[in-house]
Amino acid sequence: MRIAVPQAVEQIIETLTCHGYEAYAVGGCVRDSLLGREPGDWDITTSASPYQVKELFRRTIDTGILHGTVTVMKNHVGYEVTTYRVDGEYEDGRHPKSVEFTSDLREDLCRRDFTINAMAYSHETGIVDIFGGVKDLQMGIIRCVGNPLDRFREDALRILRAMRFSAQLGFEIEETTRTAIEEIAPNLEKVSKERIQVELTKLLCSSHPEQITDVYAMGASPFVSLAFHEIDHSQVCIPSILPAKKHIRWAAFLKDTSREKAVQVLKDLKMDNATISRIQTLHPWILFPIRADKAELRRVMSQMEPEWFDDLLVLREAMELGQTVFAPGEITEKIVKPAKAGTLKQMAAEIREAGDCTCLKDLAVTGKDLLAYGMKPGKQIGETLSGLLDYVLSHPEENQKEQLLKLVKDRY
C-alpha cells in the first residue's frame, strides 16, 4: 500500500536512508492518511541520533533534543524528526524517568499509546504495523499497545487521549482498554492541567463533542477538576455544526452552569485568559431571552465586540437546532417572547447597515468633548458617557454631538 507523502517528508526520509539510517513517517500522519483524513502534521522517526540528524540538514531547531527531537525546516515548514526511543520507567505517572535511544523501530512503536497511532511508513518498506493498527482502523477501535493497565499507569493522560480519539474518529474504545480507564482514572490527578485541557479541547472541537460526557461516564471527571465534575452535564448540547473553535465549543458545553463555575472550570484547566474572557462575556447571553426589539438588541451588542456578538448568534442558532429552551421558566416566557436567532441576525444586520451606535467608540461625544464643555475630569465623565450611550441605544438617530451635548446641559 502506498501513502501520499509530502515531498519534504519524502526528501527527509531519503536523505536519512541515503546516509545509512532508517527513517519513517510515524504516528498520527500514518493513521490519518490511511483514514483518508488530511494529517495535521508529519512526524518522522529515525535510527539516527539527534546530532546525526542535525549534521544532515541545513536548517534545524533543537526542539526537544534531550528527548531525541530535532525540527527540520523545509520551505518554512517544520518537521519533527525524533530518534527511536524507549521511554524509561515512569516516575510519577507524568514523566519518564529517563529516555533511552534504541536502534530498533519495534521498540519505538511499542512506547506509543494506541495501535492506530503505532504504525510507521516509508515508500521503501510500506506500512509497518506490528500491533494490528490497520485492522483496528478498519474496525473503528481504540486499543492500547500492550497491557492497558500498565500503559495508563505509565501516563494517565492516555485516558483522555483515548476518549479524544474516540470522539475525533467516531471509534469505540475496546473493552479491556475501557475497563483499565475506569480503574486508573484517579491517576489523572497527577497529570498537568494544561495537558488535560488540550485533550478536552480537542475532544470538544471534534465531530462528536457530546462525547465529553464519556469523561463523566467513565469516572474520570472528579480527577479533571472539582468544578468540572460538578457541572450540570445532563443536557449537554454541542451541535457539531458549531464552528470547531475552542471558545465556541467550551461556551456551548458550559452554558448550563453558572458563569462563576464556568470560569472556575476554565481557570482550573489553565485556559488562556483571552479565551476565558471571551467565554465569560458570551456566557450570560447564550440562553438569555432577547426580544425582537432593536433597542434591546443594540444593548446586547453594546456588551461585546462585534465578532463576539456574531459568535453569540451562531451559538443561539445551534442551540435552537438542539432544541434548547431559551426562556428560563414559564413566567419569563409570558413577559418576554424571545426572538429566534434568525430574526436577531436580520435585525443586527439592519442595525449595522444603518450605522447605529452600539459602543462608546462610536458615540458622537467623547470624554474630550465633555472636558471642553467644562466638565471636571473624574468619575463624572465616564458616568456621563455611559448614560449617553444608554440613551443612544434607544434613540440611535440622536447620536449627534450637538444634540447629545444639549442633553448633557439639560440633565447634568
Sites of contact with Mg ion (CB under 5 A): 28
Considering only the stretches 49-57, 153-161, 233-241, 366-374, report the one whose residues sit in contact with ligand ATP under the rule CB under 6 A. 153-161
Q: Return the closest-CA partner of residue 310 out of 340, 282, 338.
A: 282
Considering only the stretches 113-121, 297-305, 336-344, 399-407, report the one whose residues sit in contact with ligand ATP under the rule CB under 6 A. 113-121
Q: Are 290 and 344 in contact (CB under 8 A)?
A: yes
Could you tell me the smallest distance in angstroms from the CB atom of residue 38 to Mg ion? 12
Measured in residues, the chain has a length of 412
And the C-alpha cell for 270?
Answer: 489553565
Considering only the stretches 94-102, 111-119, 352-360, 400-408, report the one whose residues sit in contact with ligand ATP under the rule CB under 6 A. 111-119
Q: Return the closest-CA partner of residue 201 out of 268, 137, 159, 250.
A: 250
> From Mg ion, ligand ATP, none, which one binds at residue 209 (CB under 5 to 8 Å depending on kind)?
none
- Indicate which single residue of 85, 158, 233, 283 sits in contact with ligand ATP (rule: CB under 6 A): 158
Q: Return the closest-CA partner of residue 302 out of 384, 362, 247, 382.
A: 362
| CA contacts within 13 A on the Cβ side of 48 | 26
- Indicate which single residue of 33, 115, 117, 211 sits in contact with ligand ATP (rule: CB under 6 A): 117
Residues in contact with ligand ATP, counted by CB under 6 A, come to a total of: 11
> From Mg ion, ligand ATP, none, which one binds at residue 158 (CB under 5 to 8 Å depending on kind)?
ligand ATP
Could you tell me the smallest distance in angstroms from the CB atom of residue 109 to ligand ATP? 8
CB of 28 or CB of 133, closer to Mg ion? 28
For residue 244, give the amino acid letter: A
Whole-number Å distance between alpha carbons of 381 and 253: 40
CB of 118 or CB of 388, closer to ligand ATP? 118
Could you tell me the smallest distance in angstroms from the CB atom of residue 41 to Mg ion? 5
And the C-alpha cell for 35?
Answer: 483514514
The packing angle between helices 246-254 and 259-268, to 10°, is: 130
Could you tell me the smallest distance in angstroms from the CB atom of residue 57 to Mg ion? 20
Instruction: Please tell me whether residue 157 binds ligand ATP under the rule CB under 6 A.
Output: yes
And the C-alpha cell for 307?
Answer: 465578532
Q: Are 203 and 164 in contact (CB under 8 A)?
A: yes
And the C-alpha cell for 91?
Answer: 516516575
Q: Return the closest-CA partner of residue 143 out of 105, 115, 103, 106.
A: 115
> From Mg ion, ligand ATP, none, which one binds at residue 157 (CB under 5 to 8 Å depending on kind)?
ligand ATP
Instruction: Please tell me whether residue 113 binds ligand ATP under the rule CB under 6 A.
Output: yes
Q: Which helix (H) or strand (E) holds 279?
A: helix 273-286
Could you tell me the smallest distance in angstroms from the CB atom of residue 31 to ligand ATP? 6
Could you tell me the smallest distance in angstroms from the CB atom of residue 71 to Mg ion? 13
Q: CA of 279: how far to CAs of 244, 255, 274, 304, 369, in Å?
A: 14, 10, 9, 11, 34
- Indicate which single residue of 34, 46, 112, 251 sits in contact with ligand ATP (rule: CB under 6 A): 112
Q: Which residues in this chain contact ligand ATP in the complex, by CB under 6 A?
A: 27-28, 40, 43, 112-113, 117-118, 155, 157-158
